[in-house]
Each structure stands twice: as structure tokens, then as C-alpha cells.
Structure 1
Amino acid sequence: MDHQYDIIVIGSGPGGYVSAIRAAQLGKKVALVEKYAGLGGTCTNVGCIPAKALLDSSEHFHQAKTEFTVHGIETGDLKLNFNQFIARKKEVIAQNNAGLNFLMRKNKITLYQGHGSFKDSHTLNVGTEKGDQLTLKATDFIIATGSKPASLAGIAIDKKRIITSTEAMDLPALPKSMIIIGGGVIGIELASMFARLGTQITIIEYADSILPTMDRELGKTLQKSLSKLNIVFKLNHRVQQVVNQGDSVSVSFLDEKQQLRTETAAYCLMAVGRKPYTAGLNLEKAGINTDQAGRIIVNDQLQTNQPNIYAVGDVIAGPMLAHKAEEDGKYVAERICGEAGHLDYSLIPGVVYTWPEVASVGKTEEQLKSEGKQYNVGKFPFLASGRARASRDLDGFAKVLVDPTYGEILGVHIIGARAADLIAHATLGIRHEITAAAMNEMVYPHPTFSEVLKEAYLLATGQPSINY
């Protein structure tokens, strides 16, 4: 069998499978090496996709429990079948795995299941579960091995009571209580999911706001909304110790007054971010350099210090987002194939899939203030949207930050219904330097949630809203 390829991609997550498919479309002979049985990496199997499946299911349950009677729908004795709740998530994963396998066959990409490790900069060894050792060679390599959950110093994740998002989405039964360490995207999404089902959630966050990297108004508004689910927020708290007590877990932390406190719960979910996963790749044998955080160092073309080896997604610097990895993968495949490609990290939106959803692209107010840059604000509440009133999705707002001289859109921040979908509209505006006035002049269908953006653009130009 011929084991010589133009490109070998290591890792089948969003960065890996997109780069493999794009390179194959451009005529390259491509192999994809994946350690696990299912394609799709963290995103498809234990991250983005299953999390959204569970979030949607939990929102349906919550709506049935709290909102249906307002609409004249009587459900009677409402119950949660937790086994089916988890089973549906697994069905979604299987469907996505099957879809990716189809795409590999369609694009004539050779798939190897096993752990890849470099022998040198042109040779990769692949160890299979059967103990076989294959040797593959390629002109170019793309490393797309993603990331793993991180923890705090001195706190070991045992995957039993001290868990990560991976275990949290596959628990055997609905927990009565959970302490979540970290108020970022992962912690907040899983907090909202479990809280909707009835789990008592406590979030411990070191910063003074949830979603601390996003526009501060978003975090404050979301915290107010999620408090309706009886989620307890402990901000400005520093975790000191987490101990598995058998049938529960205890968490010790310093509060905002530096007093040591301890609380117990059924589980402790560590949601303090993720770290690059390069274990076992033998990067040193390929001569590849990494930084102190373990990330692979690349140039602006995503090349490592070995010109024929590229890296994409979570293993390099930048936001650890599936859509960022996809853009990395497409860009690298096109560069290798002699095309120009396009990559702009400033245009990568961030999304939190709670309800209301949160989405952001461009500069935050805090960033603009720190840069000393002048800006106008246009802010419009969902409460004033006819579409939002019809669906009772009244929490949140759309906020547009605009350059006062030229009308350039500097940033857009949305919390509200379908914010995850609306942000693409704003990203397009920033990408093509469409002014706020021109964005307002577009014809928006009525009634839709998108009209909150239309009104925000109008207000940012200094004109009064016609709907509020």
C-alpha cells in the first residue's frame, strides 16, 4: 500500500477535517490521522455539538415547565427522562460522525485511526489499537490536534466527582447540586443547562464578572437573566482546594473579603479554560518549537519553524473556537495549494449559547476606552421588539459601537434571542466596512429579531429610533 501523501492532517476536529477536505478539493492526495473512533474532534463528540443538543433540550423542558401555560398549552404532569435526554445527544453525535465519514469518502481522503507521532519532519508513525505501526510520509503536514480541559494548580480532575465538560455531558443521572469553577463560556453554558433541569448551581469565578473577556454589559445582563434560574454567583472568589469525598465534593475558596469558605455539592465542574493538546506527537523529533503555554509557534501563514509543517486551531495562539479552527484549516490548505487565502482574527465572533444567547464581534467598549478611541453607541432593547414581545423573549439588547467620524462599525454586542445567528450580519458589516447608516438602510423583514440591530445602527448614527 502506498503511504506517501501530498498532505497529512493530524486530528479530525473542525480545523483538521476542513483543511483535509479543502486540500482534497484542490487536487491534493490527502490522509487524515485520528486517534479516536469518531471523527470531528472535541467539537463534534464532547464539545460544541453535544453541548448545543443538551442546551436545546433543556430549554424545551424549561419552557414547558415555566412558559407553556401562558401560551394556552397545558402539559399536565411534566417529567424529565434523563436517560432519553442524554440518548438524544448521542444520536446527534452519531449523525455528525456519519456525515464526516461520508465527506472523507466523497473527497477520497484516506483515513487512519491511531495515534500519530513524528519520526522526522517528513515522516509520521501511526500506532493503532491493534498494536500495528504504520509509517506515513508527506510533503506537508497540518497539525490540528486541538485542546483538552485545563485545571487549576494543585487540583486534580478525577473524572468522578471532580469533572470536566466531557464528563458533565454524560452523567448517569441528573445531579441535585453542582459547583462550577469558572464563569467563562463553558461554565456558563453548562450552568444554564443543568439549572433549567433543576440542579442547584453555584458558580465560583475569580474575576468580578462572568464572561470577563466579552463586553462587560453582556456579562452583567446575562447574570441578571440567569439568576432567574436560581444560579448562585460568587464573583471575586479564589478557589483553594477541591476534595472528592466519595458521594460528594467539597470546594474551599477565599471570598471577596479573603475569608476561607467551604461548600459541598454532588459534583465540581472545572471550567477554567482549555490547553493545547500535543501529547505524544513527538514535536521535538520534527524540530517544532512551542511556547511556554505549550502552544505550537507559527508565523502569520500558520507555518511552524519547519516550513512544511503547519498548525491550526487550538494548538496555536488565538481564540479556542471551532469556527476559528475552520478558518485556520481552510486558509492553510489554500496556502499550501498556492492560493492566496484569507484570515482575519478580528472578524471572529464569540458566542455563548445560553438563553438569551450572547454574541459579540469587534472591539468592546472596554477596549476602545483603553485605546483612547472615540466612539458612538447605539443600543436597542429586545423589550421594544414586536417579534420579541410575541415570543416573550424580552431580555437583552443589541449594542453597536461606531466611529463618530466615518460611521465605521467598531464592534457589535448582542444579548437576546437568536443573537448567535444575528452576529453574522454584524460580522459582514465590519468585514466590508459598511457604515452604520448603510446597515440601517437595508430592508429588514418585519417582525424579526434582526430589527433590534437595525434600530441600534440608527441610534449609533445619532438619529432617534422610530420604534422606541
Structure 2
Amino acid sequence: MAQYDVIIIGSGPGGYVCAIRCAQLGLKTACVEGRDTLGGTCLNVGCIPSKALLHASHQLHEAQHNFARMGLIGDAPSVDWSRMLDYKRDAIEANTKGIEFLFKKNKVDWLKGWASIPAAGKVRVGDETHDAKHVVIASGSESAPVPGADVTVDEEVVVSSTGALELSEIPRTMAVIGGGVIGLELGSVYTRLGTDVTVIEYLDGITPGQDAEVAKQFQKLLKKQGLSFVTGAAVSKVERTDDGATVHYAMRKDDAAKTLDVDVVLVATGRRPNTDGLGLDALGVSLTNRGQIAVDDHYKTSVEGVYAIGDVIEGPMLAHKAEDEGMAIAEILAGQAGHVNYGVIPGVIYTHPEVASVGITQEQAEEAGTKIKIGKFSFMGNGRAKANFAADGFVKLIADAETDRILGCHVIGPMAGDLIHEVCVAMEFGAAAEDLARTCHAHPTYSEAMREAALDCGDGAIHA
């Protein structure tokens, strides 16, 4: 039985970052992980493998549609699915091995197995119980079922995002239940690979919570790429058939019953906290009405010495949000003042074009009665974007009408996930739109579109 200052349960982005930061701050640290590899859902069956397939399928799209326009003449490549999966697995291994190296470098002990917490200050892993002054739960999330529907995920025909990353072959047809980030990213992958993809969404539009103008443009561009959408539809049942599966759903506006026959069904209706087996009920850890672990402003649970971060607590289920919380709780436990600015956490959808956002939407500002001004700039006015066949989309900057302080930004366009961080830094320092507009941006870059949107909050963009 070992004695630790901190034991972290889970080695996803929140857990492994927390462990490394704790060790850097001089705390004797261990991290519990039951998988054969570190990195949690994100590195093994989430962020990293999905981005690998998004990258590979986008390269195929470029070869099929844009190479000839650039004078690159030749037959478009064919898809070797097994080799593409090998490429994805190589990306996973490189990243998970990297975390293992960082643990060794920082002297973090990897306790291999699945954890439970029999009492405050105790963590059981297999047959051993370890003592810890502090226990941090960072066990992440798992795919959520379709609410109120008869749907059984078998990871063969009816799959979660995990199964969608390991299909034995590229399907001819696919239904995606859920028009959120995961469903649209994986739906985009398979559309590029030749699958006929239909997205079925309960609400009347995709990407709930996204700026409405961006969401509308996003759906329009995805339809142009070949995805089909059925919105305002409630799925009631998925039935396995000899040839695949039948999705049963009803249109919410008139209860009209519909069916869709497909080879594969991807269930992408969100995620839920992964806390089974930890013994939280017996321990007395309080949960929210949504089944998340309730914590205070310093990530303390209702049990002394037990903390929680990441997907198991309230807030967006994002790897980088979990990482920030992992850093914060490590610093708090080391006697420092850890903090997360939840008003400046970006969100990204890694389709092509990408979609990125930070801060408030126009709709949120209007609901709150906040007087705002909006600066917009289309990538059609950006020289680099036009040269690279990437001119779809726009930047939308939201600033306070009186103070000019930046309140939010929403981007649909090339490299949006990287561009958004310029605004994140600006918001962290309380910058005004004019500050961004007066900052020199290199030419020709996509980032000039950010400056033009800031200029549009004032006298107007130059290239609009």
C-alpha cells in the first residue's frame, strides 16, 4: 500500500494534465487508468483518432476536387480502408506513448487497473488500496443513449463514436442520430469516403447552442458537400435487419411516422459522466439532477478530500476545459490560486470548413438585454482563402456597444479552430475590438479576416 499526496482517477486530458502539474509542483502523484494505454477517451477513441480520419478524408476530397484546378493532373487516389485505419492507430500510439513518457519524466506513478473509492483518502485498484491526502476524479464520459428510444448499441451495425472509428468496411449508407459535433465530424468523414449519410436531429437545426447564423450557414455548406438532414425528428427505435438497420422516427410538427433503411447507424446524441464502479453512492458523493458530480468553486465534492474535474462535472464536455481544470485543481492542492475562466473556453468543430466559437452568441446577448455591435467579414474577401479554395464562411465578432469590449466571436471557415485563439487571448486581457483592429496581421493569412471583422465593429472593413 502506497501513500500519495494526490491520486487522480482517469488519464484523459483532465487527469493526465492534472497528474503532471501536481508532480511539477512537488506533490507525490499517481494516476489510475484501466486501459492498456494512457490518454483516456480523447487520445484512444475520441479527439485524436477522429482528427486523423478527418485529415485523411479531407486529403482525399482535395485530390478529387481541387488538385486538377491547381494543375496537379492524375487519377485521384483510391481508398485503402485498412491502411487508413492503420494510420489512425499510429496516430493514437504516438500520442498515448507520449503521455507514458511524460509520466516517467515527471515521476508520476501509473496505477494500472480500475479504481474505486472505498473511503475518503483511499483508492482501491485491483486488490490493493492506496492512501492519498487528496483524490481527484477525472474519469471522463461515455456515449449517452438516445433519450426515450429503443436503441441498442452493438458497435457493429448500431455504433457509438467508438465503433464508428473501427468499422470493418466503409458503409454505403449511414444514419447519424444527433446533429452535434461528434455526429457531424464523423458524418463528414464518411461522406468524403463515399457513404450516403443522413443526419437525424430532434431539434429544428444542427449544433444546438451555436450562433444561429453560423449554424444555418454550416448546415448549408454540409448539404453542399453531400450530407442529408432530417431536422425536427424524434427517433423512437432502431431495428437490426439482415442488411443493416431500420431507423424509426416521427416528425415533431405532425407526428408523421418515417423509416430509414441504412447499413450503419451512428448514435451521437451526446455524452454522460462515466462514474460507474467508483462507489460514489456508498461514499456519499452528491450528484446534480443530471447525474454529474456536484462540486464547489474549488472542485471539492461533498466528501472531504475528494475532488472532481472534467466531463464528470458541470460545463462543456471538452478536453481543453478538463485540462484547464486539471491545472487549476493541481495548483489549488499545492496551495496556489488555481482558476479557470469559463467565459473564455473555445469550442471547435473539425469539419471543413471548421467552426469555432468563444464567448456569447448574438442570441444570448439579445436574451440578456446586452447592447452589442457586430463586425462581420466574409472569407470571400480574404486573398489567402480564395487562392486555397477555402473562401466559404465568415468571421462574426461581437463587442459591447458602449465599451467596445469583445464579448464573443464565431468563425466558420479555414483554420477556424486556430484563428479563434486570437480572440481568446484578447478576451482574457479585456481587449476592445479596436485593439484587435489596430494590431498588424501578416499578409496573406487567414487571420486577416479576424482583423477585418474587428474593423467592421468600427468604421468598416477594408476588403468588404
Q: Which TM class, normalised by the smaller chain length?
A: over 0.9
Q: 2:210 aligns with which of 202, 207, 214?
A: 214
- Aligned partner of 1:55 in structure 2 is 54
1:247 CA displacement: 3.0
Q: 1:386-465 maps to which residues of 2 (within 5 A)?
A: 386-461=383-458, 463-465=459-461
- Does 2:221 align with 1:225? yes
What are the ranges of 5 or more consecutive residues in structure 2 without an aligned counterpart? Answer: none
Q: 2:367 aligns with which of 370, 390, 406?
A: 370
Find the aligned partners of 1:150 and 1:253 in 2 and give their Cα distance: 18
Change (3 A) 1:189 1:277: same
Change (3 A) 1:330 1:77: closer
Q: 1:218-367 maps to which residues of 2 (within 5 A)?
A: 218-255=214-251, 256-367=253-364
Given that 1:121 and 1:285 are in contact with CA atoms closer than 8 Å, whether structure 2 keeps it comes out as no
- Aligned partner of 1:73 in structure 2 is 72
- Aligned partner of 1:162 in structure 2 is 158
1:77 CA displacement: 5.2
Q: Which moved more, 1:339-348 or 1:265-274?
A: 339-348
Given that 2:63 and 2:76 are in contact with CA atoms closer than 8 Å, whether structure 1 keeps it comes out as no
Find the aligned partners of 2:441 and 2:207 in 1 and give their Cα distance: 30
Count of aligned pairs? 461
1:286 CA displacement: 2.7
1:366 match: secondary structure: helix
Deviations 1:340-369 (A, max 9, x none): 112111110110000000000000011011
- Does 2:184 align with 1:188? yes
1:38 match: secondary structure: coil
What are the ranges of 5 or more consecutive residues in structure 1 without an aligned counterpart? Answer: 128-132
- Aligned partner of 1:130 in structure 2 is none
- Aligned partner of 2:20 in structure 1 is 21
Find the aligned partners of 2:318 and 2:258 in 1 and give their Cα distance: 34
The TM-score with structure 1 as length reference comes to 0.97
Deviations 1:115-139 (A, max 9, x none): 1111101111111xxxxx1111100
Find the aligned partners of 2:16 and 2:76 in 1 and give their Cα distance: 45
Identity, % of aligned positions: 42
Q: Which amino acid aligns with 1:146?
A: G
Q: 1:86-165 maps to which residues of 2 (within 5 A)?
A: 86-127=85-126, 133-152=127-146, 153=148, 154-165=150-161
Find the aligned partners of 2:57 and 2:219 in 1 and give their Cα distance: 18
Find the aligned partners of 1:102 and 1:339 in 2 and give their Cα distance: 27
Find the aligned partners of 1:32 and 1:75 in 2 and give their Cα distance: 51
Deviations 1:298-339 (A, max 9, x none): 001111012311100000000000000000100000000001
Find the aligned partners of 1:160 and 1:433 in 2 and give their Cα distance: 49
1:262 CA displacement: 0.5
Q: Which amino acid aligns with 2:212?
A: R
Q: Which moved more, 1:301-310 or 1:48-57?
A: 301-310
Q: Which amino acid aligns with 1:34?
A: E
1:292 CA displacement: 2.8
Over the aligned positions, Cα root-mean-square deviation in angstroms equals 1.0
